[in-house]
Structure 1
Amino acid sequence: MGPAPGNPPLGQPDGGEQRVFALVRLRGRPVGTVVGRVRAGDDPASVLAEQAVAEILVPDAPERPPIGEAPRATVVVATRERPGPLARALDSLLAQDHPDFEIVVVDNAPATGATRELVASAYAGRGVRYVLEPVPGLAAAHNRGIAAARADVLAFTDDDVIADPHWLTALTRPFGADPRLACVTGLIVPARLTTPAQILLESHGGFAKGFTARRYDPADPPADDPLFPFTAGRFGSGANMAFRAGPLKAVGGFDPATGTGTPAKGGDDLYAFVRLLAEGHPLQYTPDAIVWHHHRERWEDLCAQAYGYGAGLTACLAALLVRRPGLLPPLLARLPRGLAHARSMTAPRATGAAGRTGVPGAHGTYTHPWPRHLSRLERRGLLYGPLGYVRARLAVRGTTRPWEGR
């Protein structure tokens, strides 16, 4: 479902008015989102600005911490048979205001030469390089990108995003300010909300992690997160993340038996976050680094995504225990709370006031409508994840890290 009965999807007219989703910025920084009703003849900007003033409470923020210079970066974009969306993403990446970066397109187990031809014909000589990764799976593709990168800071995004022009600068500057930092993640907001599936995903929190910068440091665990560091979904998502190359390589990069395109269904980004935190490296979330994500449009895709979320989470936990068995005692200590959290996260919810307005929910609240069918799929995915990881490990058995020996 999307909006409640009687409400059209966002952006579609309803008796001469439209509901419009907008990201609100204050002095260039994102502070929230609103959904406004714009009638025929209204100025959308004025309507949404008035609503933002009325709805969004911006607390007095402390002085921003010092930020460093944006270091040289490699942007890795893994893709498979999606030349149209890829071109849109690459155009936005080439418009970045970052002073020194390159782009590596990783063609993952392609069936055709469409991606290679696109890069060669439209992006040759423009700072975009093409590399091939024959082993299927997002983690394997990201590892190939690590091997091909020429910079010490590696940024990762997907082929279904549009990057804000300031995205890469905002995502990489924290590395210049803090030499201990190993990972930075950023804000993911929807590029379109026009179908019920897209609206439902965003109403359940989407990929956003809020509008407040946050630092996660194993030396100072967050008091409000008793499951730390195993609540990996709080830290960020794979469409908007960056790593310092040294620490990422030191933990073996991404586990190739995780990620979209493998039997594990997902979990590659979560694995990297938790693995680095477990080694004592801090992670920082910065909402100033924004990408606009094209959510899947069809109900069938949302169903597959719900199942994949559950499977990816437990596949990630399986990968962590296989790769770092010492994490078993702290994981077992947190298991009762973790099970309760999983039940809450996947619980079905009826349409209430949120459903009537269609206002997207804050990440981690899980108070917005979520159909019972999707809850069942998520829970089935949770049960399947470890088996999927075992199957994926057997499939990639014998593969090596592509940067070894370089």
Structure 2
Amino acid sequence: MATTTAAVALPGPRRVVRVDLDAPLPELVADDAGSSALVVGYRGGHPVCTADVALTADPADAARVLAPLVGTAGAPHRTPRVVPDDALPSISVVVSTVVDRVEDLGRLLDVLEHLDYPRHEVVVVDNRVRVPADDPLPAVLAGRNVRLVTERRPGLSAGRNAGVAASHGDVVAFTDDDVQVDAGWLRALGERFATEPGLDAVSGVILPTELATPAQVWYEAYYGGFSGERTFDPVTIVPDDVPGTMRHAQVAAVRPDGSVRGRFPVYGIGAYGAGANMAFRRELLEVVGGFDTTLGAGSPARGGEDLAMFVETLWRGGRVGFEPTAVVHHRHRRTVEALHAQLRGNGVGYTALLCALVARDRRHLAVLARLVPLAAGRKVRGVVATLRRGRGTDDAAGAAAAAAPVAVVPVPRSLAYHEFRGFPAGPAAWVRSRRRWRDVESGRFPTR
């Protein structure tokens, strides 16, 4: 697919700029750090919008794009929640790692240890099958107030399950070792659980740590909000409680005022949740039986364990809160080769996830037969619109670029190719993953 990628010019680095919309706008101009920026607008310390801005030598150009956000973004202002410390649930933060991003893990733990939260613990799971002689993990953990758990059985699901088993919190939150969390991340999750007791899970916003390479810029342009269009509206995902086969098969995203932001099949929950920023009540994790060990990074299925847990939550009639004040920052893959591999893995993981769901409950098969054609059409239309963006074929994008310096990033077709290429491989990958896990449990698969 080199020719497909080459057909789109390599984008230069983009700055990720935090802007306080309640203060005077900064003067943004092109410099050595980039000629475009992803501007994240904040109010009251929380993100409320993003804007793609092309930077020039004249700061007035960027100001024209940002000025409309000042009067509209985040309005009407949300009333800040004030929850007493003793009303917040205790939370365990679980980070499962194979210790291949040592510096990132250290930076993450620097923040997790000192989060603004009254009752929380940090559990690090060493999920390596084999440990090298020059193991860097002891040095990373030295002097830290974290608990180390060892899980030599392979796969992110096994690691997360080991972390849950060793933890004590009423709520278990999960993030990854390529993520940085905001100082108020845990309090935002805990306050949402405290103020909405009917929630079984809460997810939050995922922003990029950097957009320094073409692969990182393309990933952000292709996926937007990590796994869907990024939004900053707080919503509660509520399954439709209709009789018959379609019970809980479709869900509604409900705003605090009761209005419905949108409806979609339960299998599309990835638009509102991902493993880098999610938390579940312990009771829910125990009822479901933990993360599906046939899914997830480190297994032949390569992914899907996080979405499977969200789907299971809703399938049982539970509710998921999307909390935009719970913010983490993800380091996207830096090379095009790594990005292509990630997208193939996403495709494999998604269809493997569907196989795992059907194996658990055959009703999924009937529901999928009804919903897959509609969902596939929606996916294709969304990808086509993304690929057309910035190539002069999208009238709305072209008009916006003419009116103001909006940075529009053309995306190579190779991204969609690699993602779609993974879809048909998912079922076979899930079968291999299930067989391997049986070997692991029986002792036939070497874990040391």
Partners of 1:225 and 1:75 in 2: CA distance: 31
Matches of 2:356 and 2:301, distance apart in 1: 10
Once the two structures are superposed, the pairs formed by residues 309-388 of structure 1 within 5 Å of their partners are 309-347=346-384, 349-350=387-388, 351-352=390-391, 359=407, 369-388=410-429
State whether residues 24 and 31 of structure 1, in contact with CA within 8 Å, keep that contact through their aligned partners in structure 2.
yes
- Contact conserved, 2:130 with 2:152, CA < 8 A, in 1? no
Q: How far apart in 2 are the matches of 1:165 and 1:334?
A: 40
Shift of 1:60: 3.3
Once the two structures are superposed, residues 186-244 of structure 1 have per-residue CA deviations (whole angstroms, 9 ceiling, x without a partner) of 10000000101100111121416311111101256326755421112122110000000
Of 110, 126, 136, the residue aligned with 1:91 is 110
Paired residue type of 1:21: L
Is the counterpart of residue 145 in structure 1 residue 170 in structure 2? no
CA 1:63–1:374 in structure 2 vs 1: closer, same or farther (change >3 Å)? closer
| Superposition map of 1:188-227 within 5 A | 188-204=206-222, 205-207=224-226, 209-219=230-240, 221-222=251-252, 227=264
* Aligned residue identity for 2:151: E
How do 1:55-70 residues align onto structure 2 when only pairs under 5 Å count? 55=69, 57-58=72-73, 60-61=75-76, 63-64=78-79, 68=83, 69-70=87-88
1:95–1:65: structure 2 CA closer, same or farther, 3 Å change rule? closer
Distance in 1 (CA, whole Å) between partners of 2:163 and 2:156 is 11
The amino acid of 2:381's aligned partner reads: S
Matched residue type, 1:153? V
Cα distance between partner residues in 1 of 2:33 and 2:161: 50
Do the aligned partners of residues 345 and 139 (structure 1) sit closer, same or farther apart at CA in structure 2, a change above 3 Å counting? Answer: farther
Identity %: 36
Root-mean-square deviation over aligned CA pairs:
3.2
Q: Which residue matches 1:269? A: 306
The answer (yes or no) to whether the contact 1:81–1:112 under 8 Å persists in 2 is: no
Distance in 1, matches of 2:38 and 2:134, equals 32
Task: Give the counterpart of 1:27 among 16, 21, 44.
Answer: 44
Paired with 1:6 and 1:165, the residues of 2 have a C-alpha distance of 34
Distance in 2, Cα, partners of 1:49 & 1:384: 47
The answer on whether the counterparts of 1:70 and 1:176 sit within 8 Å (CA) in structure 2 is yes
Q: Quick one: structure 1 residues 8 and 280, their matched pair in 2 at CA, closer, same or farther if it must change by over 3 Å?
A: same
**Partner SS for 1:217:** strand
**Contact in 2 for aligned 1:77/1:156 (Cα 8 Å):** yes
Task: Tell which deviates more after alignment, 311-320 or 47-56.
Answer: 47-56
Query: Which residue does the alignment assign to 1:404?
Result: none
When the two structures are superposed, what TM-score results if normalisation uses the length of structure 1? 0.85
Secondary structure of the structure 2 residue equivalent to 1:136: coil
8 Å contact from structure 1 (residues 67, 174) kept in 2: no
Q: Which moved more, 1:237-246 or 1:177-186?
A: 177-186
Deviation at 1:145, TM superposition (A): 1.0
Question: How many residues are matched?
Answer: 389
CA–CA distance in structure 2, aligned partners of residues 145 and 16 of structure 1: 39
Stretches of structure 1 that go unaligned for 5 or more consecutive residues are 361-367, 401-406
Matched, 1:53 2:67: yes
Higher Cα radius of gyration = 2
Q: 2:436 aligns with which of 369, 392, 395?
A: 395
- SS at 1:246's partner residue? helix
For 1:195 and 1:107, locate their aligned partners in 2 and report how far apart those are by CA, in whole Å.
30
- Give the Cα–Cα distance (whole angstroms) in 2 for the partners of residues 224 and 16 of structure 1: 37
TM-score (normalised: structure 2): 0.78
The amino acid of 1:259's aligned partner reads G
- What's the CA shift for 1:263? 0.8
- CA distances 1:237-287 after superposition (whole Å, capped 9, x unpaired): 100000001111111111001011111111010100001100011001111
Conserved? CA contact 2:90–2:170, under 8 Å: yes
In the TM superposition, what is the alpha-carbon distance from 1:67 to its structure 2 partner? 6.5
Mapped to 2, the partners of 1:7 and 1:273 lie a distance apart of: 35
Whether the 8 Å contact between 1:190 and 1:292 is mirrored in structure 2 is yes
Aligned partner letter, 2:418: L
Give unpaired runs (5+ residues) of structure 2: 16-28, 242-250, 253-259, 442-448
State the shift of 1:317 in Å: 1.0
Distance in 2 (CA, whole Å) between partners of 1:395 and 1:164 is 37
| Secondary structure in structure 2 of the residue aligned to 1:306 | helix
Alignment match, 1:365: none
